[in-house]
Amino acid sequence: MFRKVTLAAAIGAAFVAPVPAIGADDAEVQKIRDEIKELKDGYETRIRQLEQRLEKTEQSPAAAASAAPAPSAPASANSFNPAISLILGGQINNLQRDPGTYQVGGFIPGGDGVGPGRRSFNLGESELDVAANIDPYFSGFFVLSITPENEASVEEGYVQNTGSVPGLTVKFGRFFSGFGYVNEIHAHAWDFVDLPLVHQAFFGGQLQEEGIQARWLAPTPMFVEFGVETGRGANFPGSERNKNGANAGMIFAHLGDDVGISNSYRVGASYRMTKAEDRTYDDVDSIGTPVTNAFTGDSKMWGVDFVWKWAPNGNTVDRNFKFQAEYLHRTEDGSLAFNTAGPNLSDAYRSSQSGWYMQGAYQFMPRWRVGLRYEELNSGNPDIGLVSSGALTAADFPRLAENDPKRTTAMIDFSPSEFSRFRLQFARDEARFNEADNQVFLQYIMSLGTHGAHKF
Amino acid sequence: MNRWKTFTGALALFAMCSPAFAAVNIFACLPEWAALANELGGDKVSVYQASNALQDPHHIEARPSLVARMRSADLAICTGAELEIGWLPVLLQTAGNQKVQPGQPGFIAAADFVDRLEVPTRLDRADGDVHPGGNPHIQLDPRNVAKVGLVLTQRLEQIDAGNAAYYESRGKDFQGRWAQAIPRWEKDAASLKGLRVVPYHKDSVYLIKWLGLVEVMDIEPKPGIPPSAGHLSELVGRLKGGAADVIVRSAYQDPKAATSLAAMTNLPAVELPYTVGGTPGAKDLFGLFDDSIARLKAVKK
State the pLDDT at residue B207. 97
Asked if residue A7 and residue A107 are part of one domain, the reply reads no
Closest alpha carbon to A332 in A294, A275, A292? A275
* Cα dihedral B113, B97, A206, A325 sign: positive
In this model, does residue B20 exceed pLDDT 50?
no
Judge whether B154 is closer than 8 Å to chain A, CB to CB: yes
Say whether both A42 and A173 belong to one domain.
no
Kindly indicate whether the domain formed by B189-300 is annotated with CATH number 2.60.40.1180: no
Tell me, what DSSP letter sits at residue B161? Answer: G
Q: Do B125 and A419 touch (CB under 8 A)?
A: yes
Contact B224 A455 (CB under 8 A): no
**Tally of structural domains, chain A:** 2
Name the pTM for this structure: 0.85
Instruction: In whole angstroms, give the CA distance from residue B134 to residue A434.
Output: 60
DSSP states along A141-183: EEEEEE-TTS-EEEEEEEEEEESSSTTEEEEEEEEE--SSSGG
Put simply, the answer to whether A47 touches B64 (Cβ < 8 Å) is no
Contact A39 B116 (CB under 8 A): no
Closest by Cβ to A9, choosing from B63, B162, B213:
B162
User: Which B residues in the span 2-31 are in contact with A, Cβ-Cβ below 8 Å?
Assistant: 15-17, 19-20
The confidence score (pLDDT) of residue A58 equals 44
Does A429 score more than 70 pLDDT? Answer: yes
- Mind giving me the DSSP string for A208-226? EEEEEEEEEE-SSSSEEEE
A132 within some domain? no
pLDDT category, A35, cuts 50, 70, 90?
Answer: low
Rounded to 5 degrees, what are φ and ψ at A441? Answer: -125, 140
Which range marks the domain in which residue A395 is found?
95-118+162-416+424-432
Q: Name the closest residue on chain B to residue A322, using Cα atoms.
A: B61
pLDDT tens digits along A100-136 = 999 999 999 998 889 999 999 999 989 999 999 998 8
Does residue A9 sit in the same domain as residue A111?
no
B85 interfaces chain A, CB cutoff of 8 Å: yes
Name which of B55, B90, B161 is nearest A13 (Cβ-Cβ).
Answer: B161
Angle between helices A2-16 and A26-57 (to 10 degrees): 120
For residues A37 and A171, membership in a common domain is answered with: no
Summarised one tens digit per residue, pLDDT across range A244-302 is 999 999 999 999 999 999 999 999 999 999 999 999 999 999 999 999 999 999 999 99
d(CA A180, CA A178): 6
Q: What is the CATH number of domain B22-184?
A: 3.40.50.1980
Rounded to whole angstroms, how far apart are CA atoms A431 and A23? 74
Tell me which residue of B185, B177, B145 sits closest to B296, measured CA to CA: B185
In whole angstroms, give the CA distance from residue B223 to residue B246: 20
Report the distance separating Cα A200 and Cα A328, nearest Å. 12
Map out the domains of chain B as residue ranges: 22-184, 189-300
Q: How confident is the model at residue A67 (pLDDT cuts 50, 70, 90)?
A: very low
Is A398 among the domain residues?
yes
